[in-house]
Structure 1
Amino acid sequence: MRLHLPVAAVGLTLALAGCASSGGLHPQGAPIDPSSLATQQSLAQVSASEASWPQTDWWVGLGDAQLDALMTEALKNNPSLVVADARVRAAQAAAGVTHADLLPRVNAGASVAGARLPASVPALGNGHFGLAKYAYASFSWNPDLWGGRRAAWQAAVGEARAAEVEAHAARIELSGNLARAYVQLGYAYNQHDVAKAELQRARLARKLTRQRVDAGIDNRIQLEQSNAEVATAKQQLAQAGNAIDAARNALAALLGKGPDRGLKIARPQLLPPSKLAVPADLPANLIGHRADLVAARWRVEAAGKDIKAAKAEFLPNLGLSALAGVIGFGGGNILDLPSRFYTVAPALSLPIFDGGRLRNNLRGKDAQYDLAVAQYNQALVGAVNEVADDVDALRSLRQQVAAEAQALAAAREAWTLAEQRYKAGVGSYLEALTVRQQLLAAEQRMAALKAQQSDQSVQLIQALGGGYTPGNGQVPPATAHASAHTSSSTDNRS
């Protein structure tokens, strides 16, 4: 006995010294500090106000009743939103399964079986048919000594929260895409109007040119040029009609309906562009107003909890199980005292050699954390620069619209003068139609610029979060450096 104790002590010491270790493994990524993303110079000429954040139903402020109705229809039972909601329920169910690992398990069962046991083996039976009856109840529980299972559950909750936020992001994306398609439909109608007017002008110009050719004033070169203008105008009119059909189909798809639904959409008015302004302290506040950034932060938090759960697997694990029941053979009463049985089995396990499974699992969790951090950083940098790009584009479009307004006014004045000259008998109507062509081109450019303004305004609204406000439980804990997630008692060697 005296010899056995030292041998056991030596064996335990060697086992502990050679057990699996998590030493030397840690993630490398760190979330970017939003304050390091400077925007003061880039947005210096833009007014800043907290009121610049979009409202949840920002489209109502545009004053288009048809657009309001389309938004309500699109956000109700849309297939893309059903997909997002189903992913939320799946993630919540996965979190529920992980939570169950924290709790004890109790099972019960009973069975009656008939069998003929061979008489050739007297210890088993006598060669006659008999019944075997049993009933049991079992209990098992693995205490979460190191918090690994709780960390795994928290990671699953983080993934579920990310899925919830991404469902909001899907709604924001849908509303933005619907507004942009609505703008595109209005622009397509404007293009159709200009193309129709151009076709009428080209046909009239060809008629006058044919008269001049017949009178010997012009030659057939001018007539063929007029024919080419008419053909080009027809092509542009057909293209504009196709653009209307395509925009209607796009709206119908966003509504989750067939193409016939698009035919019922009336011609929209051009949506007014939003005011050029950004919220104060944009990078820091943008995190809480963009669903994609909130979801990315949840995934960083979940990845950190996964690391803790993986480290807990290196440590000793305690388990407790118990089984009690009754069993009987033949026609006897199984509730008799001799037929009862029970077992109690506490167990202790410690990983010693696993071929590197635990270390590689932890190494993979570290990589997943670095990936989540990198994706969050990429999303944050992209979001801030996206806002700056949209602001610059809107600022440029305002300047372009102002310049084009001057060109349009000049073209209208030229058309007025050309008509006056024709009526006064000074100039020909063919010359006036040439001026008219310049006016139509200016009107087409102005329509395109205003459509770009409206579209860019919607993009800015989306870049600022589309009116998203995190609900209860959707705000993730503050993301910190990986050491904040991984510094715990699990860093010790097992």
Structure 2
Amino acid sequence: MANRHPNSLYRPLSALALATVLAGCASMHNLKPESSLQDADRFQASTSLGRTPVSDVAWPKAQWWSAYGDPQLDALMQEALAGSPSIAIADARTRKAYAQAGFAEAGIYPTLGAGAQVAAVQIPETLAPAPIGGKMIHSEVLTLSFAWAPDLWGGKHAKWQSAVGAARAQEADAQAARLTLEGNIARTYAALAQAWDARDVAERDVKRNADLHALATQRVKAGIDNQIALTQITSAEDNARAQMQAADQQISALRNALAMFAGKGPDRGLSLTRPQLKADGIAIPSLLPSELVSRRPDVAAARWHVEAASKGIKAAKSDFYPSLNLSAIVGLAAGKLGDLFKSDAGLVFGGPAISLPILDGGRLRSQLRGANADFDLAVAGYDQTVLNAIRETTDAVQSARELDTQISAATSARDQQARSAMLVTQRQKAGLANQLDVLTAQKPILQLDQQLSTLRARRMQSAIDLDIALGGGVPVQLPSQSSISESGKKSQ
């Protein structure tokens, strides 16, 4: 038996491994994902966006908010990106995800450790007679231990790739958190501009009603009007003051919100002056929707989740096959420290071990079904994210387009009303109208100014929404299409 050729041992092992591989392949029969990754261009939006100018340079720049021409907004953005707790949280999650990927990678490589031990044991004479029983036996041991499970089927590598995909997804999520913060600041800043406009209109209305109140008081004293008209004007005056106070409260709340977004206390908000925003005409990129995949961080994150799930399938499949574990311990052992380095103190233990999954109660098939379902979920999540991106882009474009039309109509109406008020003023100077007529003619102008303020604020919001919908100007890294396609084919 001692002279048996080593090949005679390898043949049965090889045959057993081959049989197990075949059995593993058979046990995975009919287990595969139900979906596959498809091109984003299948979601058509060309007709909905057809009346919008197209430009090859219509993608927003990295600091997209600078196009609104307000240095105060630029400063707020820089402060927020440097000091917001939400960004710190997202970055910490990214670092943790990469640490987990590093942990998964470590499982691919062999391990080597060293140990030293001094031990003593005394066996009672009731268990073993003398000279063994009743004697304290000392031992000193120095060892080197080696362990390695070769990645025969690529499962460990796939687990590492899946962890890298999850880390890349988290990195894209961190960028999405930055974009969300930028969008919140820009939208809040635009709302602050509208609140200032609303306060201006309310303040002018307060002055107009004060003039009406003074005029009505004179008319009541002169017996021209009664107390009912004065009461109505007083009520309108109080309402105008309430509107101005509401605008002041809104300005304070929005300042506090902007300070919070910037990672600062409320006192930072007190230093904010009136916004000076400008909004230009809109245009969309010529490569929609396909380029949204590399421009939107949330779409990129969803794509990385698909990549991670595809590698998860490969990792789950590898568990069906036999695994090989190599281990060895070499060292020195002796009863006395002086004997530890003698030639006969050598200690060697180790060898290969093969593990074969035979009966597992369906655990491996359930695990593979779960991995396939994770892939289907990731693909569905990716499709939903792309659809949301296209919808948000279309909504922003259509909203801006329609608001431009409404602003044009309201501006024309306001100009006409201003000309009418000017004519009334001229008639008053000619003695053909009175002060009441002049003050009454100013009311529609204030109403139209309020309407225009609201429309312009909504138009600015649409411009911001479009910049956000197009990804905020910072392209993100994507997995290669060939990598996902190859994984998808293998999973079939």
CA contact (8 A) 1:149 1:309 kept: yes
1:162-195 deviations in Å (ceiling 9; x for gaps): 1112222222222222121111111111111111
CA gap of 1:181–1:123, structure 2 versus 1, over 3 A, is farther
1:33-68 deviations in Å (ceiling 9; x for gaps): 222222222121111111001111122232222122
Residue type of the alignment partner of 2:189: Y
CA gap of 1:305–1:262, structure 2 versus 1, over 3 A, is same
1:49-101 deviations in Å (ceiling 9; x for gaps): 11001111122232222122111111113211111110110110011000011
Moved more, 307-316 or 321-330: 321-330
CA contact (8 A) 2:36 2:488 kept: no
Of 303, 312, 321, the residue aligned with 1:306 is 312
Distance 2:423 2:369 in 1: 79
CA contact (8 A) 2:310 2:484 kept: no
Gaps in structure 1 of 5+ consecutive residues: 2-6
CA gap of 1:267–1:11, structure 2 versus 1, over 3 A, is closer
Alignment of 1:273 with 2:279, yes or no, is yes
- TM-score, with structure 2 as normaliser: 0.92
1:195-223 deviations in Å (ceiling 9; x for gaps): 11111211221222122222222222212
CA gap of 1:486–1:70, structure 2 versus 1, over 3 A, is closer
Of 476, 486, 490, the residue aligned with 2:479 is 476
Look up the SS of the partner of 2:83 in the other structure: coil
Distance 1:68 1:182 in 2: 11
CA gap of 1:265–1:13, structure 2 versus 1, over 3 A, is closer
CA gap of 1:43–1:150, structure 2 versus 1, over 3 A, is same
Q: Give aligned-pair identity as a percent.
A: 41
- TM-score, with structure 1 as normaliser: 0.91
Alignment of 1:89-488 (within 5 A): 89-120=95-126, 121-122=128-129, 125=132, 127-269=134-276, 271-330=277-336, 332-470=338-476, 474-478=477-481, 484-485=486-487, 487-488=489-490
Which position in structure 1 is the counterpart of 2:8?
Answer: none
Of 82, 85, 108, the residue aligned with 1:79 is 85
Of 19, 28, 34, the residue aligned with 1:22 is 28
Distance 1:11 1:174 in 2: 59
Moved more, 176-185 or 389-398: 176-185
How far did residue 22 of structure 1 move? 1.6
CA contact (8 A) 1:29 1:481 kept: no
1:249-308 deviations in Å (ceiling 9; x for gaps): 111111011111111111111x22232211113111221111111111111011000000
Look up the SS of the partner of 1:113 in the other structure: strand
Look up the SS of the partner of 2:331 in the other structure: strand
Count of residues in correspondence between the two structures: 480
CA contact (8 A) 1:301 1:477 kept: no
Distance 1:182 1:140 in 2: 60
CA contact (8 A) 1:115 1:130 kept: yes
CA contact (8 A) 1:317 1:348 kept: yes
CA contact (8 A) 1:300 1:479 kept: no
Distance 2:61 2:356 in 1: 55
CA contact (8 A) 1:131 1:331 kept: no
1:105-146 deviations in Å (ceiling 9; x for gaps): 111111223454434424784535553321211111111111
Residue type of the alignment partner of 1:476: P
1:404-458 deviations in Å (ceiling 9; x for gaps): 1111111211222222222333222122212111111111111111111111101
Gaps in structure 2 of 5+ consecutive residues: 2-11
- Superposed CA RMSD in Å reads 2.5
How far did residue 103 of structure 1 move? 0.2
CA contact (8 A) 1:169 1:291 kept: yes
Which position in structure 2 is the counterpart of 1:54?
Answer: 60
